[in-house]
Amino acid sequence: MSTYSVEVRESTRGGDDYTEEHYDFDTPEEVKVFIKELSEDEGVHSVLKYADGQTSNPKDVTMNFRR
């Protein structure tokens, strides 16, 4: 089963910097639900898909998950 890694960025006060968090999911459906629940201050920076058993060389599938 593939794994999806989502990087979410949130601008800091003043907008000069940001914080980032990473979340892992097993299915694209879980990713879609998660993205829908983000606040307006949070933005999806990337969604990467890792093949079974892989921890490197992910495929960038961000464009499939834009809100």
Q: Tokens in use for 53?
A: 């058993």
Whole-prediction pTM value? Answer: 0.87
Burial class (CB in 10 A: 0-12, 13-18, 19+), 4: buried
What pLDDT, in 10s, does the model give residues 13-67?
A: 777 888 999 999 999 999 999 999 998 889 999 999 999 989 899 999 999 997 6
Q: Are 8 and 42 in contact (CB under 8 A)?
A: yes
Q: How far apart are CA 3 and CA 61, in angstroms?
A: 12
Residue 35, helix vs strand vs coil: helix
Instruction: Supply the pLDDT for residue 6.
Output: 97
What total number of domains does the chain contain? 1
Instruction: Supply the pLDDT for residue 67.
Output: 65
Strands 42-50 and 3-11: antiparallel
